Homo-oligomer: A and B are copies of this chain.
Amino acid sequence: MATLLPSVEPSVFRDRRSRLAERIGATPALLFAGGYRSRNYPDNIYRFRAASHFLYFTGAQIPDAVLVGSSVGWELFIEPDGPSHALWHGETPGPEQIAAATGVERVRPLAELADTVAALGGPEAVATLPATEPLTRAGQGSLLERDWGRATGIVTALGERDAKLADAVIDTRLRIDSAGLEQMREAASATLAGHLAGMAITAPGVPEYRVRAAIEHEFFARGMQCAYGSIVSVHGEVLHNDTHLGTLQPGDLLLADAGAEHDGWASDVTRTWPVTGRFSATQRAIYELVLHVQIEACDRVRAGARYRDIHLGAGVSLARGLVDLGILHGDPENLVERGAHALFFPHGLGHLIGLDVHDMEDLGDRAGYQAGRARSDQFGLGYLRLDRDLEPGMVVTIEPGFYQVPAILDHEELGGRFARDGTLNRSALERFHDVRGIRIEDDVLCTEGHPQVLTRDIPKDPAGVEGHVGSAR
Protein backbone atom coordinates (compact mmCIF):
# COMPACT_ATOMS: atom_id res chain seq x y z
CA MET A 1 0.00 0.00 0.00
CA ALA A 2 1.49 3.29 -1.09
CA THR A 3 0.39 5.74 1.57
CA LEU A 4 1.29 9.30 0.73
CA LEU A 5 0.60 11.83 3.46
CA PRO A 6 -0.20 15.48 2.84
CA SER A 7 2.65 17.94 2.43
CA VAL A 8 0.67 20.77 4.07
CA GLU A 9 -0.62 21.34 7.60
CA PRO A 10 -3.52 19.20 8.89
CA SER A 11 -5.43 22.39 9.70
CA VAL A 12 -6.07 22.78 5.97
CA PHE A 13 -8.06 19.54 5.94
CA ARG A 14 -9.72 20.20 9.29
CA ASP A 15 -10.96 23.52 7.90
CA ARG A 16 -12.26 21.88 4.74
CA ARG A 17 -14.07 19.19 6.73
CA SER A 18 -15.59 21.84 9.02
CA ARG A 19 -16.87 23.74 6.04
CA LEU A 20 -18.42 20.56 4.69
CA ALA A 21 -19.90 19.62 8.09
CA GLU A 22 -21.64 23.00 8.32
CA ARG A 23 -23.31 22.29 5.02
CA ILE A 24 -24.38 18.68 5.56
CA GLY A 25 -25.62 19.03 9.13
CA ALA A 26 -26.24 15.78 10.96
CA THR A 27 -26.13 13.41 7.97
CA PRO A 28 -23.17 11.02 8.19
CA ALA A 29 -21.03 11.11 5.05
CA LEU A 30 -18.75 8.47 3.51
CA LEU A 31 -16.13 9.40 0.91
CA PHE A 32 -14.16 6.61 -0.79
CA ALA A 33 -10.53 6.92 -1.96
CA GLY A 34 -10.84 4.19 -4.60
CA GLY A 35 -8.32 1.46 -5.32
CA TYR A 36 -5.61 0.54 -7.78
CA ARG A 37 -6.30 0.20 -11.50
CA SER A 38 -4.54 -2.77 -13.06
CA ARG A 39 -2.84 -2.53 -16.41
CA ASN A 40 -2.19 -5.95 -17.97
CA TYR A 41 -2.30 -8.17 -14.88
CA PRO A 42 -3.34 -7.53 -11.29
CA ASP A 43 0.09 -6.64 -9.87
CA ASN A 44 1.03 -4.30 -12.72
CA ILE A 45 -0.80 -1.16 -11.73
CA TYR A 46 -1.16 2.37 -12.99
CA ARG A 47 0.10 5.00 -10.59
CA PHE A 48 -2.46 5.37 -7.80
CA ARG A 49 -4.59 8.53 -7.73
CA ALA A 50 -7.06 8.91 -4.86
CA ALA A 51 -10.56 10.12 -5.73
CA SER A 52 -10.65 13.91 -5.57
CA HIS A 53 -13.50 14.15 -3.05
CA PHE A 54 -11.43 12.00 -0.68
CA LEU A 55 -8.17 13.78 -1.45
CA TYR A 56 -9.65 17.23 -0.90
CA PHE A 57 -10.76 16.45 2.64
CA THR A 58 -7.72 14.38 3.73
CA GLY A 59 -4.75 15.35 1.55
CA ALA A 60 -3.78 11.68 1.68
CA GLN A 61 -3.33 9.09 -1.05
CA ILE A 62 -4.36 5.84 0.65
CA PRO A 63 -5.76 3.10 -1.59
CA ASP A 64 -9.14 1.71 -0.46
CA ALA A 65 -9.47 4.16 2.44
CA VAL A 66 -12.83 5.64 3.43
CA LEU A 67 -13.39 8.97 5.19
CA VAL A 68 -16.43 8.99 7.46
CA GLY A 69 -17.89 12.12 9.01
CA SER A 70 -20.50 11.72 11.72
CA SER A 71 -21.45 13.04 15.14
CA VAL A 72 -18.22 11.55 16.57
CA GLY A 73 -16.16 13.64 14.14
CA TRP A 74 -14.09 12.49 11.21
CA GLU A 75 -12.60 9.02 11.01
CA LEU A 76 -10.46 7.29 8.40
CA PHE A 77 -11.01 3.60 7.73
CA ILE A 78 -7.99 1.91 6.16
CA GLU A 79 -6.79 -1.57 5.32
CA PRO A 80 -4.23 -2.40 8.02
CA ASP A 81 -0.81 -3.61 6.92
CA GLY A 82 -0.57 -7.41 6.93
CA PRO A 83 2.28 -9.31 8.63
CA SER A 84 4.47 -9.47 5.51
CA HIS A 85 3.84 -5.82 4.58
CA ALA A 86 7.10 -4.50 6.06
CA LEU A 87 9.03 -7.14 4.12
CA TRP A 88 7.93 -5.77 0.75
CA HIS A 89 6.98 -2.18 1.51
CA GLY A 90 9.32 -1.20 4.36
CA GLU A 91 8.12 1.00 7.16
CA THR A 92 5.06 2.95 6.10
CA PRO A 93 3.03 5.46 8.11
CA GLY A 94 0.97 3.87 10.89
CA PRO A 95 -2.48 4.92 12.10
CA GLU A 96 -1.10 7.56 14.51
CA GLN A 97 1.00 9.22 11.81
CA ILE A 98 -1.91 9.18 9.39
CA ALA A 99 -4.22 10.69 12.01
CA ALA A 100 -1.67 13.40 12.84
CA ALA A 101 -1.00 14.31 9.21
CA THR A 102 -4.64 14.47 8.16
CA GLY A 103 -6.04 15.77 11.45
CA VAL A 104 -8.81 13.16 11.65
CA GLU A 105 -10.02 12.04 15.07
CA ARG A 106 -9.23 8.39 14.54
CA VAL A 107 -7.85 5.88 12.07
CA ARG A 108 -9.65 2.56 12.19
CA PRO A 109 -9.45 -0.77 10.35
CA LEU A 110 -11.57 -1.05 7.24
CA ALA A 111 -13.12 -4.23 8.63
CA GLU A 112 -15.04 -2.04 11.10
CA LEU A 113 -16.71 0.03 8.38
CA ALA A 114 -19.79 -2.16 7.91
CA ASP A 115 -20.59 -2.16 11.64
CA THR A 116 -20.02 1.57 11.72
CA VAL A 117 -22.52 2.10 8.92
CA ALA A 118 -25.03 -0.04 10.80
CA ALA A 119 -24.43 1.95 13.99
CA LEU A 120 -24.99 5.18 12.07
CA GLY A 121 -28.47 3.97 11.11
CA GLY A 122 -27.74 1.79 8.10
CA PRO A 123 -27.25 2.49 4.38
CA GLU A 124 -30.31 4.72 4.11
CA ALA A 125 -29.16 6.99 6.94
CA VAL A 126 -25.80 7.92 5.41
CA ALA A 127 -24.78 9.92 2.34
CA THR A 128 -22.06 9.05 -0.16
CA LEU A 129 -20.75 9.89 -3.62
CA PRO A 130 -20.16 7.10 -6.14
CA ALA A 131 -16.48 6.32 -6.71
CA THR A 132 -15.20 6.45 -10.28
CA GLU A 133 -12.96 3.40 -9.87
CA PRO A 134 -15.24 0.45 -10.70
CA LEU A 135 -14.30 -2.13 -8.07
CA THR A 136 -14.64 0.43 -5.30
CA ARG A 137 -17.95 1.60 -6.74
CA ALA A 138 -19.21 -1.97 -6.77
CA GLY A 139 -18.17 -2.62 -3.17
CA GLN A 140 -19.54 0.74 -2.07
CA GLY A 141 -22.84 0.09 -3.82
CA SER A 142 -23.10 -3.28 -2.12
CA LEU A 143 -22.23 -1.95 1.35
CA LEU A 144 -24.52 1.06 1.07
CA GLU A 145 -27.24 -0.63 -0.99
CA ARG A 146 -26.95 1.80 -3.89
CA ASP A 147 -27.53 0.60 -7.42
CA TRP A 148 -25.45 2.70 -9.76
CA GLY A 149 -25.27 -0.06 -12.35
CA ARG A 150 -22.09 -1.57 -13.61
CA ALA A 151 -20.62 1.24 -15.65
CA THR A 152 -18.46 3.98 -14.22
CA GLY A 153 -19.98 6.71 -16.31
CA ILE A 154 -21.08 9.96 -14.72
CA VAL A 155 -23.88 9.31 -12.22
CA THR A 156 -26.60 11.91 -12.63
CA ALA A 157 -29.35 10.21 -10.64
CA LEU A 158 -28.46 10.47 -6.98
CA GLY A 159 -30.82 9.83 -4.10
CA GLU A 160 -31.92 12.85 -2.08
CA ARG A 161 -29.38 12.38 0.71
CA ASP A 162 -26.50 11.78 -1.70
CA ALA A 163 -27.56 14.74 -3.84
CA LYS A 164 -27.44 16.95 -0.77
CA LEU A 165 -23.92 15.72 -0.02
CA ALA A 166 -22.91 16.29 -3.64
CA ASP A 167 -24.13 19.86 -3.50
CA ALA A 168 -22.39 20.44 -0.16
CA VAL A 169 -19.10 19.06 -1.49
CA ILE A 170 -19.41 21.17 -4.64
CA ASP A 171 -20.13 24.29 -2.62
CA THR A 172 -17.08 23.57 -0.43
CA ARG A 173 -14.70 22.87 -3.31
CA LEU A 174 -15.98 25.48 -5.76
CA ARG A 175 -13.99 28.39 -4.37
CA ILE A 176 -10.36 27.26 -4.13
CA ASP A 177 -8.79 27.95 -0.72
CA SER A 178 -5.33 29.40 -0.27
CA ALA A 179 -3.70 25.99 0.20
CA GLY A 180 -5.28 24.80 -3.04
CA LEU A 181 -4.20 27.94 -4.90
CA GLU A 182 -0.66 27.46 -3.65
CA GLN A 183 -0.64 23.93 -5.08
CA MET A 184 -2.09 25.18 -8.36
CA ARG A 185 0.65 27.80 -8.61
CA GLU A 186 3.25 25.08 -8.06
CA ALA A 187 1.63 23.04 -10.81
CA ALA A 188 1.60 26.12 -13.07
CA SER A 189 5.33 26.66 -12.57
CA ALA A 190 6.06 23.10 -13.73
CA THR A 191 3.71 23.62 -16.66
CA LEU A 192 5.67 26.73 -17.60
CA ALA A 193 8.92 24.75 -17.57
CA GLY A 194 7.27 22.03 -19.62
CA HIS A 195 5.97 24.29 -22.37
CA LEU A 196 9.32 26.10 -22.60
CA ALA A 197 11.11 22.74 -22.91
CA GLY A 198 8.64 21.66 -25.59
CA MET A 199 9.14 24.86 -27.57
CA ALA A 200 12.91 24.58 -27.17
CA ILE A 201 13.27 21.18 -28.83
CA THR A 202 10.73 21.86 -31.57
CA ALA A 203 12.21 21.58 -35.06
CA PRO A 204 11.28 20.03 -38.39
CA GLY A 205 11.82 16.26 -38.35
CA VAL A 206 11.21 15.83 -34.62
CA PRO A 207 8.44 13.33 -33.75
CA GLU A 208 5.47 14.60 -31.74
CA TYR A 209 6.16 12.11 -28.96
CA ARG A 210 9.59 13.62 -28.38
CA VAL A 211 8.11 17.06 -27.79
CA ARG A 212 5.54 15.50 -25.50
CA ALA A 213 8.30 13.70 -23.57
CA ALA A 214 10.26 16.95 -23.18
CA ILE A 215 7.20 18.74 -21.78
CA GLU A 216 6.21 15.97 -19.38
CA HIS A 217 9.78 15.42 -18.22
CA GLU A 218 9.64 18.83 -16.57
CA PHE A 219 6.61 17.68 -14.59
CA PHE A 220 8.08 14.35 -13.55
CA ALA A 221 11.49 15.84 -12.70
CA ARG A 222 9.67 17.97 -10.10
CA GLY A 223 7.93 14.94 -8.61
CA MET A 224 4.64 15.88 -10.25
CA GLN A 225 2.28 14.04 -12.59
CA CYS A 226 0.29 14.91 -15.71
CA ALA A 227 -3.12 16.32 -14.82
CA TYR A 228 -4.52 14.68 -17.97
CA GLY A 229 -3.38 12.95 -21.14
CA SER A 230 -1.32 15.53 -23.03
CA ILE A 231 -2.25 16.51 -26.56
CA VAL A 232 0.84 17.34 -28.60
CA SER A 233 -0.01 17.36 -32.26
CA VAL A 234 0.45 19.07 -35.59
CA HIS A 235 -3.21 18.21 -36.13
CA GLY A 236 -4.61 20.63 -33.61
CA GLU A 237 -7.95 20.39 -35.38
CA VAL A 238 -8.35 16.87 -33.99
CA LEU A 239 -9.68 17.99 -30.64
CA HIS A 240 -9.29 14.75 -28.71
CA ASN A 241 -6.02 13.66 -30.20
CA ASP A 242 -4.30 11.04 -28.09
CA THR A 243 -1.70 9.75 -30.51
CA HIS A 244 1.73 11.33 -30.95
CA LEU A 245 3.12 9.50 -33.93
CA GLY A 246 3.33 12.42 -36.36
CA THR A 247 6.54 14.13 -37.39
CA LEU A 248 6.88 17.91 -37.36
CA GLN A 249 7.14 19.45 -40.82
CA PRO A 250 8.12 22.97 -41.87
CA GLY A 251 4.95 25.03 -42.15
CA ASP A 252 3.14 23.08 -39.42
CA LEU A 253 1.76 24.59 -36.27
CA LEU A 254 2.19 22.41 -33.19
CA LEU A 255 -0.61 22.46 -30.62
CA ALA A 256 0.42 21.42 -27.09
CA ASP A 257 -2.25 20.99 -24.42
CA ALA A 258 -0.42 19.74 -21.32
CA GLY A 259 -0.52 20.54 -17.62
CA ALA A 260 1.16 19.35 -14.46
CA GLU A 261 -0.60 18.05 -11.36
CA HIS A 262 0.88 18.82 -7.95
CA ASP A 263 -0.37 16.83 -4.94
CA GLY A 264 -3.47 16.23 -7.02
CA TRP A 265 -4.05 19.89 -8.00
CA ALA A 266 -4.23 20.54 -11.71
CA SER A 267 -3.04 23.00 -14.27
CA ASP A 268 -4.30 23.00 -17.85
CA VAL A 269 -2.52 25.01 -20.51
CA THR A 270 -2.50 25.07 -24.29
CA ARG A 271 -0.03 26.84 -26.50
CA THR A 272 0.36 26.68 -30.27
CA TRP A 273 3.65 27.41 -31.96
CA PRO A 274 5.19 27.23 -35.44
CA VAL A 275 7.54 24.33 -36.08
CA THR A 276 10.04 26.56 -37.85
CA GLY A 277 9.88 29.25 -35.19
CA ARG A 278 8.12 31.65 -37.62
CA PHE A 279 4.40 32.04 -38.13
CA SER A 280 3.39 32.47 -41.77
CA ALA A 281 1.34 35.62 -42.47
CA THR A 282 -1.90 33.63 -42.52
CA GLN A 283 -1.00 31.74 -39.35
CA ARG A 284 -0.08 34.96 -37.63
CA ALA A 285 -3.36 36.62 -38.60
CA ILE A 286 -5.46 33.83 -37.09
CA TYR A 287 -3.12 33.39 -34.12
CA GLU A 288 -3.38 37.08 -33.23
CA LEU A 289 -7.15 36.91 -33.53
CA VAL A 290 -7.38 33.91 -31.16
CA LEU A 291 -4.95 35.61 -28.79
CA HIS A 292 -7.00 38.80 -28.79
CA VAL A 293 -10.16 36.82 -28.04
CA GLN A 294 -8.38 34.92 -25.27
CA ILE A 295 -6.91 37.96 -23.51
CA GLU A 296 -10.24 39.75 -23.69
CA ALA A 297 -12.05 36.74 -22.21
CA CYS A 298 -9.47 36.32 -19.43
CA ASP A 299 -10.07 39.95 -18.49
CA ARG A 300 -13.80 39.28 -18.19
CA VAL A 301 -13.34 36.68 -15.45
CA ARG A 302 -14.88 38.90 -12.77
CA ALA A 303 -17.09 38.30 -9.74
CA GLY A 304 -20.70 38.24 -10.88
CA ALA A 305 -19.97 37.65 -14.54
CA ARG A 306 -21.87 34.76 -16.11
CA TYR A 307 -19.41 32.35 -17.71
CA ARG A 308 -21.79 31.62 -20.57
CA ASP A 309 -21.74 35.30 -21.46
CA ILE A 310 -17.96 35.30 -21.54
CA HIS A 311 -18.16 32.27 -23.83
CA LEU A 312 -20.65 33.95 -26.14
CA GLY A 313 -18.65 37.22 -26.05
CA ALA A 314 -15.57 35.30 -27.13
CA GLY A 315 -17.64 33.88 -29.98
CA VAL A 316 -18.64 37.39 -31.07
CA SER A 317 -15.03 38.61 -30.97
CA LEU A 318 -13.89 35.60 -32.96
CA ALA A 319 -16.72 36.08 -35.48
CA ARG A 320 -15.84 39.78 -35.83
CA GLY A 321 -12.25 38.88 -36.59
CA LEU A 322 -13.30 36.26 -39.11
CA VAL A 323 -15.56 38.82 -40.80
CA ASP A 324 -12.59 41.20 -40.98
CA LEU A 325 -10.55 38.42 -42.59
CA GLY A 326 -13.33 37.79 -45.10
CA ILE A 327 -13.96 34.23 -43.91
CA LEU A 328 -17.42 34.93 -42.48
CA HIS A 329 -19.98 37.40 -43.72
CA GLY A 330 -22.58 39.10 -41.51
CA ASP A 331 -23.10 40.84 -38.21
CA PRO A 332 -20.91 39.26 -35.50
CA GLU A 333 -23.67 39.17 -32.85
CA ASN A 334 -26.04 37.63 -35.33
CA LEU A 335 -23.42 35.12 -36.50
CA VAL A 336 -23.07 33.87 -32.93
CA GLU A 337 -26.84 33.68 -32.45
CA ARG A 338 -26.97 31.47 -35.53
CA GLY A 339 -23.96 29.43 -34.33
CA ALA A 340 -21.73 30.28 -37.30
CA HIS A 341 -18.67 30.93 -35.10
CA ALA A 342 -18.93 27.30 -33.93
CA LEU A 343 -17.86 26.19 -37.41
CA PHE A 344 -14.36 27.13 -36.27
CA PHE A 345 -14.76 27.10 -32.49
CA PRO A 346 -17.03 24.16 -31.75
CA HIS A 347 -16.13 23.58 -28.09
CA GLY A 348 -16.80 25.53 -24.91
CA LEU A 349 -14.59 28.42 -23.80
CA GLY A 350 -13.49 26.47 -20.73
CA HIS A 351 -14.39 24.77 -17.48
CA LEU A 352 -13.82 24.75 -13.74
CA ILE A 353 -10.38 23.56 -12.69
CA GLY A 354 -9.12 22.54 -9.24
CA LEU A 355 -8.26 19.12 -7.95
CA ASP A 356 -9.73 17.75 -11.16
CA VAL A 357 -8.74 19.30 -14.43
CA HIS A 358 -12.49 19.39 -15.21
CA ASP A 359 -13.33 20.03 -11.60
CA MET A 360 -15.89 17.63 -10.11
CA GLU A 361 -16.94 16.35 -13.54
CA ASP A 362 -17.55 12.95 -11.90
CA LEU A 363 -20.82 14.60 -10.78
CA GLY A 364 -21.79 15.57 -14.31
CA ASP A 365 -23.02 19.13 -14.84
CA ARG A 366 -23.95 19.53 -11.17
CA ALA A 367 -20.72 21.46 -10.49
CA GLY A 368 -20.43 23.28 -13.81
CA TYR A 369 -24.04 24.37 -14.19
CA GLN A 370 -25.70 26.56 -11.59
CA ALA A 371 -29.07 25.33 -10.31
CA GLY A 372 -31.78 26.09 -12.86
CA ARG A 373 -29.38 26.16 -15.82
CA ALA A 374 -28.87 23.37 -18.33
CA ARG A 375 -26.95 22.71 -21.50
CA SER A 376 -28.11 24.22 -24.76
CA ASP A 377 -29.09 22.11 -27.76
CA GLN A 378 -27.19 24.34 -30.18
CA PHE A 379 -24.11 22.93 -31.93
CA GLY A 380 -21.11 24.38 -30.08
CA LEU A 381 -22.94 25.87 -27.10
CA GLY A 382 -24.05 22.36 -26.16
CA TYR A 383 -20.41 21.52 -25.42
CA LEU A 384 -20.01 24.32 -22.86
CA ARG A 385 -19.07 22.70 -19.53
CA LEU A 386 -19.60 25.75 -17.32
CA ASP A 387 -22.51 28.11 -16.82
CA ARG A 388 -22.22 29.77 -13.44
CA ASP A 389 -22.03 33.30 -12.17
CA LEU A 390 -18.37 33.57 -11.21
CA GLU A 391 -17.33 34.10 -7.61
CA PRO A 392 -13.99 35.04 -6.07
CA GLY A 393 -11.93 31.87 -5.57
CA MET A 394 -13.27 30.05 -8.59
CA VAL A 395 -10.59 29.05 -11.11
CA VAL A 396 -11.62 28.56 -14.71
CA THR A 397 -9.84 27.87 -17.95
CA ILE A 398 -10.13 30.29 -20.85
CA GLU A 399 -9.34 28.46 -24.05
CA PRO A 400 -10.74 29.77 -27.32
CA GLY A 401 -9.55 28.18 -30.52
CA PHE A 402 -9.79 28.16 -34.28
CA TYR A 403 -9.92 24.84 -36.09
CA GLN A 404 -10.57 23.67 -39.61
CA VAL A 405 -12.32 20.39 -38.90
CA PRO A 406 -13.29 18.62 -42.14
CA ALA A 407 -16.16 16.82 -40.38
CA ILE A 408 -17.69 20.23 -39.58
CA LEU A 409 -16.81 22.29 -42.64
CA ASP A 410 -17.88 19.53 -45.04
CA HIS A 411 -21.02 18.71 -43.07
CA GLU A 412 -24.23 19.39 -44.96
CA GLU A 413 -26.01 20.97 -41.97
CA LEU A 414 -23.00 22.94 -40.73
CA GLY A 415 -20.39 24.15 -43.24
CA GLY A 416 -22.70 23.33 -46.15
CA ARG A 417 -25.63 25.36 -44.88
CA PHE A 418 -23.52 28.43 -44.05
CA ALA A 419 -21.72 28.27 -47.40
CA ARG A 420 -25.01 28.08 -49.30
CA ASP A 421 -26.45 31.15 -47.59
CA GLY A 422 -23.26 33.15 -48.13
CA THR A 423 -22.20 33.28 -44.46
CA LEU A 424 -19.08 31.19 -45.04
CA ASN A 425 -16.69 32.27 -47.79
CA ARG A 426 -14.89 29.08 -48.72
CA SER A 427 -12.50 30.70 -51.14
CA ALA A 428 -11.39 33.24 -48.53
CA LEU A 429 -10.93 30.38 -46.11
CA GLU A 430 -8.78 28.52 -48.64
CA ARG A 431 -6.04 31.16 -48.15
CA PHE A 432 -5.70 29.96 -44.55
CA HIS A 433 -5.14 26.29 -45.39
CA ASP A 434 -1.94 26.26 -43.29
CA VAL A 435 -3.94 26.96 -40.13
CA ARG A 436 -5.39 23.63 -39.13
CA GLY A 437 -5.78 24.21 -35.41
CA ILE A 438 -4.89 26.91 -32.88
CA ARG A 439 -5.85 27.01 -29.22
CA ILE A 440 -4.56 29.27 -26.45
CA GLU A 441 -5.51 28.34 -22.88
CA ASP A 442 -4.78 29.71 -19.42
CA ASP A 443 -6.05 29.06 -15.89
CA VAL A 444 -7.68 32.17 -14.46
CA LEU A 445 -8.57 32.92 -10.84
CA CYS A 446 -11.63 35.06 -10.21
CA THR A 447 -10.95 37.58 -7.42
CA GLU A 448 -12.74 40.57 -5.88
CA GLY A 449 -10.90 42.74 -8.39
CA HIS A 450 -8.76 42.00 -11.44
CA PRO A 451 -8.55 38.38 -12.52
CA GLN A 452 -5.28 36.57 -11.86
CA VAL A 453 -3.95 34.41 -14.67
CA LEU A 454 -2.18 31.61 -12.78
CA THR A 455 -0.36 30.51 -15.92
CA ARG A 456 0.52 33.98 -17.21
CA ASP A 457 4.29 33.38 -17.43
CA ILE A 458 3.94 30.87 -20.26
CA PRO A 459 4.71 32.83 -23.44
CA LYS A 460 1.76 33.46 -25.73
CA ASP A 461 2.45 36.65 -27.67
CA PRO A 462 3.78 35.74 -31.13
CA ALA A 463 7.22 37.22 -30.54
CA GLY A 464 7.63 35.44 -27.21
CA VAL A 465 6.60 32.14 -28.71
CA GLU A 466 8.84 32.56 -31.76
CA GLY A 467 11.74 33.45 -29.52
CA HIS A 468 11.54 30.14 -27.66
CA VAL A 469 10.94 27.72 -30.51
CA GLY A 470 14.04 25.74 -31.36
CA SER A 471 16.13 27.44 -28.69
CA ALA A 472 17.60 24.04 -27.67
CA ARG A 473 19.17 23.62 -31.10
Within 8 A of B (CB), among A23-62: 37-47, 49, 51-52
Copies in the complex: 2
A376 shortest CB reach to chain B, Å:
16
Within 8 A of B (CB), among A99-132: 132
A87 touches B239 (CB 8 A): yes
A209 touches B238 (CB 8 A): no
Say yes or no for A229: interface residue by CB 8 A criterion.
yes
B51 touches A356 (CB 8 A): no
Write the chain B residue with the least CB distance to A201: B221
- Chain B residues with CB under 8 A of A210: 221, 223
Q: Report how many residues on chain A are interfacial, defined by Cβ distance under 8 Å.
A: 70
Say yes or no for A305: interface residue by CB 8 A criterion.
no
B407 touches A42 (CB 8 A): no
Name A's interface SS. Answer: loop
* Partner-binding segment picked from A145-153, A175-183, A289-297: A145-153
Say yes or no for A299: interface residue by CB 8 A criterion.
no
Say yes or no for A420: interface residue by CB 8 A criterion.
no
* Partner-binding segment picked from A212-220, A306-314, A329-337: A212-220
B90 touches A238 (CB 8 A): yes
B220 touches A90 (CB 8 A): no
A80 shortest CB reach to chain B, Å:
15
Say yes or no for A432: interface residue by CB 8 A criterion.
no
- Chain B residues with CB under 8 A of A429: none
Known A-B contacts A139-B150, A243-B4; A44 and B134 likewise in contact (beta carbons under 8 Å): no
Say yes or no for A20: interface residue by CB 8 A criterion.
no
